């Protein structure tokens, strides 16, 4: 447990989801979605924690949570379908805490679930960040994708990411693309580099609004 975070449980229909929540100074909150549950992915993943840290340092409230069937979250893995409902429940939880503006961040499997969730939902988000979208492993359907993705990040040694394709998609979406030198899919030893990219992106985004 990180300083200031508290364990929370919130409902998704009949399911109960486990998360770690930090109350920040901003009305905005960052919601972080973790990698593949069947490959050991959880909210305690190093990349998930790096994303949470980056936004907590910007004063945002943060919520990292376990998808169904992971940790204390009830239910079972649903191949990304029910996990989309988990994201909706997490957004509702943040809204109930007084954070109507949400930055949605997904890593790996979490990014894939976010991608499909965005195609089905029309929520007004503060921003969308995709870290290491595994487009060589999962199918991403970019046709008709109208939601704003502000930032796409991947490592230049990531075997699960097609860097050239992600750069192309970032261009089509008018998204910032960032490549982490020396990083593979798991960012071991590169967490600080990722945090720096996220903080820079969010600061620049808010400077444009000012």
Which residue shows structure tokens 């030198």? 181
Give the CATH number of domain 6-209; options: 3.40.50.1820, 3.20.20.70, 3.30.460.80, 3.40.50.300: 3.40.50.1820
SS3 assignment for 37-74: HHHCCCCCCHHHHHHHHHHHCCCCEEEEECCCCCCCCC
Sheet holding 61-65, edge to edge: 6-12, 15-22, 61-65, 28-33, 101-107, 127-131, 151-155, 176-180
CA atoms within 13 A on the CB side of 38: 6
pLDDT digits (tens, 9 = 90+) for 21-68: 999 999 999 999 999 999 999 999 999 999 999 999 999 999 999 999
Nearest to 30 by CA among 67, 61, 65, 72: 61
The domains of the chain are located at: 6-209
| Radius of gyration for the chain, computed over Cα atoms and rounded to the nearest angstrom | 16
pLDDT digits (tens, 9 = 90+) for 127-165: 999 999 999 999 998 887 776 799 999 999 999 999 999
pLDDT digits (tens, 9 = 90+) for 86-124: 999 999 999 999 998 999 999 999 999 999 999 888 667
pTM of the model: 0.96
């Amino acid at each position: 447990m990180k300083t200031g975070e508290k364990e929370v449980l919130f409902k998704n229909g009949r399911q109960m989801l486990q998360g770690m929540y930090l109350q920040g100074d901003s009305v905005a909150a960052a919601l972080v979605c973790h990698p593949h549950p069947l490959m050991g992915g959880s909210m305690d993943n190093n990349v998930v924690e790096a994303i949470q840290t980056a936004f907590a340092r910007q004063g945002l409230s943060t919520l990292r949570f376990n998808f169904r069937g992971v940790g204390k979250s009830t239910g079972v893995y649903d191949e990304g379908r029910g996990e989309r409902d988990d994201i909706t429940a997490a957004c509702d939880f943040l809204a109930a805490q007084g954070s109507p503006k949400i930055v949605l961040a997904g890593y790996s499997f979490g990014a894939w679930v976010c991608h499909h969730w965005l195609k089905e939902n029309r929520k007004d988000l503060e921003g969308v960040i995709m870290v290491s979208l595994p487009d060589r492993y999962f199918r991403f359907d970019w046709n008709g994708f109208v939601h704003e993705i502000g930032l796409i990040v991947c490592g230049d040694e990531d075997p699960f990411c097609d860097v050239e394709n992600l750069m192309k998609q970032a261009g089509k979406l008018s998204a910032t693309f960032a490549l982490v030198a020396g990083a593979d899919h798991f960012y071991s030893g590169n967490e600080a580099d990722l945090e720096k990219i996220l903080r820079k992106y969010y600061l620049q985004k808010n400077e444009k609004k000012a």
